[in-house]
Amino acid sequence: MCIRDRFQLPHGVWLDSRNEGAPTLVVADRVNARLQWFSLDGKHLSTVDGFILPANVDTHKDLMVVPDLSARVTLLNKKNEIVAHLGEDSDWRTEVLKDNRKLRTEPDRWRDGRFLHPHDACFDLSGNIIVAEYVSTGRVTLLKRLA
């Protein structure tokens, strides 16, 4: 592995069993803004870019949820293609990130329906998504599955 391919703050690790065959290990390579998949014996299988600061992963049926520390949550399908960036709003992200992320300490300025710093996300048994944010008071959001 050359230096440019090394992990930079591998933050979340998950056993991905969405595909037939052997499960794979997926790693949220946070500072490199990507997810990487490996076989259980350590062979690199694939990489998906398109994240900002991916913090963790969880799966439910064919979906994977990835909390992205910069104000959004990403969904991937069974082929590991990005299907949605939930909460994507570049103007809001600019507001969240300015002044060294000071907004995380100012709950009176937070907006319903807008993420600040999603640090973890998981599915419940019904496929709803629970997002936990790393902010001054802590913040948990329930995203209800519609279909």
Q: Identify the band that residue 8 occupies on the pLDDT scale cut at 50, 70 and 90.
A: low
Output the CA torsion 92→98→104→110 (10° steps).
Answer: -30
Q: What is the pLDDT of residues 15-51, one digit of tens each?
A: 899 887 789 999 999 888 899 999 999 899 999 998 9
CA 51 → CA 29, 43, 69, 72, distances in Å? Answer: 10, 22, 9, 9
pTM for this model (two decimals): 0.90
Residue 89 pLDDT exceeds 60: yes
**What pLDDT does residue 9 have?**
64
| Contact (CB, 8 A) for 30 and 53 | yes
Q: How many helices (H) and strands (E) does the chain have?
A: 1, 11
List CB contacts of 24: < 8 A, sequence separation 6 or more. 15, 16, 37, 38, 39, 40, 45
**What pLDDT does residue 71 have?**
95
Least confident segment among 12-21, 51-60, 80-89, 100-109: 12-21
Average of per-residue pLDDT values in the chain? 90
**What pLDDT does residue 2 have?**
42
**What pLDDT does residue 21 have?**
79
Show contacts of 84-89: CB within 8 Å, 24+ apart: 86/115, 86/129, 86/143, 87/113, 87/114, 87/115, 87/118, 89/114
